[in-house]
Amino acid sequence: MRAAYITETGPAEKIQVDTLPDPIPQAQEVLVRVTAAAVNPIDTYIRGGLVAMELPLPLVVGCDLAGVVEAVGPEASRFRVGDRVWGSNQGLLGRQGSFAELAAVDEQWLYPTPDGVEDETVAATALVGITAHLGLVQEANLQPNETIVVSGGGGAIGSTVIQMARALDAHVVATTGSEESMAYCQTLGAEKTINYRSENLLAQVVEQVPEGADLWWETSRNVDLDLAIGALGLGGRLILMAGRDARPEFPVGLFYVKCCKLLGFAMFQASAAIQRKAAEAINDWLVKGKLKPTIDRVVPLEETPAMHRLQEENTLSGARTLRGKIVVKV
């Protein structure tokens, strides 16, 4: 099969797009003929060796995939040959990745693709959608009519969180970095938007949410805790899921006197059962049109190294040249 893989960790140039032996599905694995896969920042961290994890080598890169069941392992029972499926959480924790013509994936990490929803759509929704659901539902238990501030609403996670919070009937305020991105966040469902480059940002947030936010979702790798906690109301929650090397100052008094909660999570730590619950809700919202991933571009598998560079320029260097997900068509 054709695959994008590495034989050692390192920069994007380490990715080769070439032939590897076809995998044979073992035990509860399902062999998926991959049609679409999406790039996520974690793909680049794993490829770069920044995440301490067991890696089989050669390692096919990538977490997210969509495709059609080609064969099933001897103990697999959830899917049949010909079923359309999607999934995430591959290419890490010792598992092979998704950027290949074929991927042998444990059935616990696969979900049915609903009729009428395209493979590129589910591939682009996978990791960001499950992450948004884990945060909003599992971690923060967001309730209808609560107010959430999405810090960095224009990014891949932020834009998904905006849509999903609206699907959960919450009020959404988004902060983002440009007039154009503010308009984009509004099309996603944000009722109020704030340019985070404004002076007196906290005052602006407080003006928009005078009673204090119930939830602040931080997507940036450099959270300003005085801002985020300052914007919360009594009992407000703050979600952190990015910024591995960040060490911001933590305003202890502001936090505990308002009985705030700080919720950290990493999607890959969630159990398969919990991720499946997220996937079921995502499928429902995709069918109803409440969730629509923004896809920046669709490219062939051969462009994977260039796409890792593009993702890194945006995630790490703030290039702002991406609006939505990079999808690879296999």
Chain residues binding its own copies by CB under 8 A are 223, 225, 234, 240-253, 255-266, 269
Closest listed residue to residue 108, CA positions, set 128, 119, 93, 121? 93
For residue 53, the minimal CB distance to its own copies (Å) is 11
81 or 234: CB nearest its own copies: 234
100 or 241: CB nearest its own copies: 241
The whole-angstrom separation of Cα 244 and Cα 247 is 9
121 or 151: CB nearest its own copies: 151
Angle between helices 119-133 and 272-288 (to 10 degrees): 120
3-state class (DSSP) for residue 205: helix
For residue 242, the minimal CB distance to its own copies (Å) is 8
Residue 228: how many other CB atoms lie within 10 Å: 27
115 or 249: CB nearest its own copies: 249
Angle between helices 156-167 and 119-133 (to 10 degrees): 80
For residue 109, the minimal CB distance to its own copies (Å) is 18
170 or 242: CB nearest its own copies: 242
What string of H, E and C letters represents the secondary structure of 122-144?
HHHHHHHHHHHHHHHHHHCCCCC
104 or 240: CB nearest its own copies: 240
For residue 253, the minimal CB distance to its own copies (Å) is 3
DSSP-assigned letter for residue 153: T
- Angstrom CA distances, 63 to 88, 148, 254, 326, stand at 5, 28, 38, 13
177 or 248: CB nearest its own copies: 248
For residue 135, the minimal CB distance to its own copies (Å) is 10
R_g over Cα of the chain: 20
Q: How many residues does the chain have?
A: 330
For residue 82, the minimal CB distance to its own copies (Å) is 37
Cα atoms found within 13 Å of the Cα of residue 225, Cβ hemisphere only = 16
Residues 75-112 as b/e (b if ≥16 CB within 10 A, e otherwise) read ebebbeeebbbbbbbbbbeebbbbbbbbbbbbbbbbbb
For residue 161, the minimal CB distance to its own copies (Å) is 15
For residue 243, the minimal CB distance to its own copies (Å) is 4
60 or 260: CB nearest its own copies: 260
